[in-house]
Amino acid sequence: MARIGILSFAHLHAESYAACLKQLPGVEFIGVADENEARGRQAAARFGVPFYSSYELLLDRKPDGVIVTAENARHLPLVRLAAQAGVHVLCEKPIATTMADGRAIIEACRQANVKLMIAFPCRYSPAVQAVKQVLDEGRLGEIYGLHATNRGQMPGGWFTDRELAGGGAVIDHTVHVMDLVNWFWRSPVTRVFAEVGQDLLWDIGIDDSGLISFELANGIFGTLDTSWSRPKVFPTWGDVTMEIVGEKGFLQLDMTAQMLQVYSDRQGAVNWAHWGSNIDLEMLRDFATICTSEKEPSITGEDGLSALEVALAAYLSAEKGEPVRLPL
């Protein structure tokens, strides 16, 4: 039995993770700790688990693992607390808002000999895994380039607070796709050029759109549309798509396309009903296994740092108006 708790309910993904913990056989959802008492108590009551007014109180319950879903800038102190308590960690993406904090998170877990996993659930999509298999088998031959998107809804709240989030749409949506690029080819990004737009779509005082061009060490060239361009009524949180061009073929990925369009007179609306796999559930199933076995994390802190570096390089490139070479 894996005993898992949640530290902070600040991130939107915490809701899905909590629901998954309640569904998973062999997992005990031991509770929610949150410095925001009203938010934490409401979440704990919704899922029928104890609320803890301090993170230390939950860690005193000696869980096998915790999920850190605080604001991006507050990941480091919570990961440190968990590591010092000898508890394995699943940290929400991005790993941090700075490379220094990201490295400190990795080092804190290394020194405490606890496992650190970064929450990149896209790797658990069957469609994404099928693409990975095609690439690993070399069925496309030499890869020339790719175009990717991660276009979602504007989340509001602290996501538009530069100090807490580390940026806007670019840091929020770049990391998912760049983790897939890293996983597919295991070739570091060597150069980034980006244009970043602020208040182009929403009057929020922070970047809401971006277009990133990048080059890998193996010569593959790519572009990424990373934006909060979906309206509030859009039926999914966003999209993750990729078009890959190779010498032997062309491959298209649309990760969120497993939907049925439902016309309902009762609701007086048109909705999309998801029928595909729950990628959060599969990620948490993997994390639970990692917490109670010798298995190492499928997605490491270094993976999180690599994805973050591209987002930070995009901001730097946009500021300078020129390409930026990595590592930063």
pLDDT in tens, 21-78: 999 999 999 999 999 999 999 999 999 999 999 999 999 999 999 999 999 999 999 9
Is 14 in the same domain as 110? Answer: yes
Is residue 260 a part of any domain in this protein?
Answer: yes
Is residue 293 a part of any domain in this protein?
Answer: no
Final residue in a domain of this structure, among 114, 134, 157: 114
Strand order of the β-sheet with 116-119 is 51-52, 27-33, 2-7, 65-68, 88-92, 116-119
Residue in the structure block whose two tokens are 């300078």:
320
Final residue in a domain of this structure, among 114, 133, 164: 114
Expressed as residue numbers, the domain containing 170 is 123-277+307-325
Is residue 225 a part of any domain in this protein?
Answer: yes
Q: What gap in Å lies between CA 168 and CA 198, rounded to an integer?
A: 9
Is 177 in the same domain as 89? Answer: no
- Is the confidence at residue 232, as pLDDT, over 90? no
Is 93 in the same domain as 139? Answer: no
Is 265 in the same domain as 150? Answer: yes
Q: What gap in Å lies between CA 266 and CA 261, rounded to an integer?
A: 15
Is 14 in the same domain as 94? Answer: yes
Is 58 in the same domain as 190? Answer: no
Is 86 in the same domain as 218? Answer: no
Q: Would the pTM count as exceeding 0.85? A: yes
Is residue 292 a part of any domain in this protein?
Answer: no
Give the lowest-confidence range in 121-130, 151-160, 175-184, 269-278: 269-278
Final residue in a domain of this structure, among 74, 95, 114: 114
Domain count, the chain: 2
Q: What gap in Å lies between CA 35 and CA 95, rounded to an integer?
A: 20
Looking up residue 29, the CATH number of its domain turns out to be: 3.40.50.720
Is 158 in the same domain as 243? Answer: yes
Q: Give the mean pLDDT of the chain.
A: 96
